[in-house]
A and B are shown apart, each in its own frame.
Chain A
């Protein structure tokens, strides 16, 4: 296990190097001029020149890259051109928000998706199975943007139960934090719950028709034990992968949902930065999310080994 972990961690170094080159390189392909984008309506040639000099935009690409990587290695991701704040400070402000939202969304989707998938598989071809399938199909096909706005109108404007948008941290005011994040977390979790339900259902159906389940039944075990302890444990392996990948995606920011609910998370930060050509922020956020994604994949692999003893050898 330790050797496996050590090997995987060593592999991270070249991966992250390639990721950094790709991030930097792709960004250069963005059309437009950061100085012009930053100047907005105030496009004076002298001022533009000064911005280019100040942010080293007038230097060769490889020099700009070296400055950036040099900074990253010493823990300095640069400064936002638009906001004059260090990129690390911005990331430190946004990451907990996105993390909270992502975790809530994952909990919601796992609770709904796995439960519905198992029920649907156990009650295969019954009215419940059909109903769950229809709901899942609705969940997959509902655009987040639309669902978000509809929920705001229902719960905030008409019923007045929840705030329409905004964000409050859980350490500031726990209940208010829950109120501001429950709708966006539900919107995010909704689509994934549907995907999870479909996967759980098919994995469960496969597991339920396998030999070891027949053996377990033949031993006279209660159906509940057969389903939960034997079939479900095996069916969970692909779900863990899916969950880890989805968490990675959610951590890179849910652009539309954050936009609709005005949640100051990664998604909003990166979209604003791309539109304003705030290179340092785009690079910093992308690097952090790519690293998180890679680490989550590693965790998923470790979880596999823990769930499936056969992989330990």
Chain B
């Protein structure tokens, strides 16, 4: 018996060593990443989720990208030049770039991709490229965009899905099924997808920057439960997870086998106030400006992030975080002032507690924030009635103005225009508060025509001053995008959009 056990043990060791040497011989490195949600369709034209952008970061290169300081840097493009009247943009392309199917990436391909974004049925890129009138392929490596009007956020739009160039041949063949087997020009090519289980990508040997790609295979797995995502990382079933919870940070930091990368989000978390969307708005915040100001003053943003997020998130009061170049430091985060809030309410003629219908999408984090807001505003004279609502339902309720206050987040865009325009311009698609001010409309349009940072920032200063006094959004804080990964991962750099880029990343055995 003893002999048999020994022999079995030896045989097991032999098998294990063969397997290990086979692995060493192939030297394949696989990076397994845990996603917080299941991505939608993998077609840059039809995609619309944040989590989908994480997959695209490995799959589809864009004309431009951003760096750590939100500067725009070239990717598939080499440079761009805007004419003096702001109506023509000439983009020079990187030579020698190939798509995953071997087709050449050139001006014709860029033209085909941009036109697909602009005209395809159901395209979510259409509004992003609405300023573009015509795309011309000047020569194989030069593209000229004719604009309907000057539009300075255009290049920033091209750092995201609108700037992704897909293989024209594959796109023409697959039509609206392109997302089932996307063919782009990114560092990894598509292998397979099992819905809700995994997306598998493999290194593309023909990638223009292949020398800096050191991972052979990427497996992206949606694991919605944050606790389980973390358990997978700790047990070694994953090498990387995105959007870990702020409350999990101490545990990740305490684990010597793990590392963490964080960055404040480009977006914001705030409360949209109904000031003119419907009668429900006119009876509360829309009645008197001072009520909006009183509400904002009753909140201690610092305390909110400390209580709900261990103080890891950044308190905020504008549509960009205090670390963004477009943050207006002239208008710092207001200190909580209950006495002043009470005074303002009194001056606005509110004598008894003002009842507010507060719609809160159903997830633990927003619910907790809502309860803190309820307690704080309660001390100033607001009677906040929390109405927890399933997310898709809450969107419809907001669209129809059936609320007085609504917790609503925005994942953020590279250009400040993306965080402000559609929320504050009269009748813009996301202006749920029903805000309207002709001056603000004019300034928002003006900011789109300026390209120098200082000039644009000056326009945004006017907008900020007005909106902070009377706007329909009370900005609260900016989340930290938290990426946890194994300490074996080297060279990972976190960009401000929170996406995972694998260029330069190495996985030690």
Shortest beta-carbon distance, A302 to chain B, in Å?
34
Shortest beta-carbon distance, A47 to chain B, in Å?
6
A82 near B: Cβ within 8 Å?
Answer: yes
Given A84-B179, A157-B231, A165-B232, residue A37 in contact with residue B392 (CB < 8 A): yes
Q: Which residues of A contact B383 (CB under 8 A)?
A: none
For window 274-289 of chain A, which residues contact chain B by CB distance below 8 Å?
275-277
One of A33, A45, A84 near B395 (C-beta < 8 A): A33
Most A CB within 10 A of own CB, among B46, B225, B397, B399? B225
Q: Which residues of B contact A277 (CB under 8 A)?
A: 392
Q: How far is the CA of A160 from the CA of B194 in the complex (A)?
A: 26
Contact B196 A164 (CB under 8 A): no
Q: Which residues of A contact B127 (CB under 8 A)?
A: 42, 44, 46-47
A304 near B: Cβ within 8 Å?
Answer: no
B411 near A: Cβ within 8 Å?
Answer: yes
Most A CB within 10 A of own CB, among B48, B50, B224, B392? B392
Q: How far is the CA of A247 from the CA of B236 in the complex (A)?
A: 34
* Chain A 34-75 per-residue mask, 1 if CB under 8 angstroms from chain B, else 0: 001111111111110011001000000000000000000000
Q: How far is the CA of A272 from the CA of B17 in the complex (A)?
A: 43
Q: Which residues of B contact A165 (CB under 8 A)?
A: 223, 228, 231-232, 237
For window 161-193 of chain A, which residues contact chain B by CB distance below 8 Å?
163-167
Q: Which residues of B contact A94 (CB under 8 A)?
A: 195-196
Shortest beta-carbon distance, A70 to chain B, in Å?
22
For window 82-125 of chain A, which residues contact chain B by CB distance below 8 Å?
82-85, 90, 93-94
Contact A84 B46 (CB under 8 A): yes
Contact B390 A260 (CB under 8 A): no
Q: How far is the CA of A174 from the CA of B236 in the complex (A)?
A: 21
Q: Which residues of B contact A39 (CB under 8 A)?
A: 48, 124
Shortest beta-carbon distance, B486 to chain A, in Å?
14
Q: How far is the CA of A62 from the CA of B400 in the complex (A)?
A: 25
Shortest beta-carbon distance, B252 to chain A, in Å?
13
Q: Across the interface, name the chain B residue whose C-beta is closest to A32.
A: B392
B415 near A: Cβ within 8 Å?
Answer: no
Interface contact tally, CB-CB below 8 A: 130
Q: How far is the CA of A47 from the CA of B130 in the complex (A)?
A: 12
Contact A37 B48 (CB under 8 A): no
Q: Which residues of A contact B46 (CB under 8 A)?
A: 84
Q: Which residues of A contact B180 (CB under 8 A)?
A: 84-85
Q: How far is the CA of A37 from the CA of B390 in the complex (A)?
A: 11
Contact A264 B196 (CB under 8 A): yes
Given A83-B195, A264-B194, residue A47 in contact with residue B123 (CB < 8 A): yes
Shortest beta-carbon distance, B34 to chain A, in Å?
9
A28 near B: Cβ within 8 Å?
Answer: no
Most A CB within 10 A of own CB, among B48, B195, B390? B195
Contact B224 A262 (CB under 8 A): yes
Given A50-B122, A164-B232, A260-B228, residue A38 in contact with residue B48 (CB < 8 A): yes
Segment of B35-43, B210-218, B448-456, B465-473 engaged in the interface with chain A: B35-43
B301 near A: Cβ within 8 Å?
Answer: no
Given A32-B395, A47-B127, A152-B228, residue A40 in contact with residue B49 (CB < 8 A): yes
Contact B228 A46 (CB under 8 A): no
Contact B121 A84 (CB under 8 A): no
B430 near A: Cβ within 8 Å?
Answer: yes
B410 near A: Cβ within 8 Å?
Answer: yes
Shortest beta-carbon distance, B200 to chain A, in Å?
13
Contact B121 A50 (CB under 8 A): yes
* Chain B 225-245 per-residue mask, 1 if CB under 8 angstroms from chain A, else 0: 101100110111100000000
Contact A262 B222 (CB under 8 A): yes
Q: How far is the CA of A41 from the CA of B411 in the complex (A)?
A: 8
Contact A164 B399 (CB under 8 A): no
Q: List 29 A-B contacts (CB under 8 A).
A: A31-B390, A33-B396, A33-B399, A38-B48, A40-B49, A43-B395, A43-B430, A46-B126, A47-B126, A50-B122, A84-B43, A84-B176, A84-B180, A85-B180, A85-B195, A93-B195, A94-B196, A152-B228, A153-B231, A156-B231, A163-B237, A164-B231, A165-B223, A166-B198, A259-B225, A261-B228, A262-B228, A264-B197, A275-B390
Residues on B lying within 8 angstroms of A by beta carbon are 38, 40-41, 43, 46, 48-50, 121-124, 126-127, 176-177, 179-180, 194-198, 221-225, 227-228, 231-232, 234-237, 390-393, 395-397, 399, 410-411, 429-430
Ordered nearest first, which 10 A-B pairs have the shortest CB separation? Answer: A264-B197, A32-B392, A37-B392, A264-B196, A44-B127, A42-B124, A31-B393, A156-B235, A164-B232, A32-B393
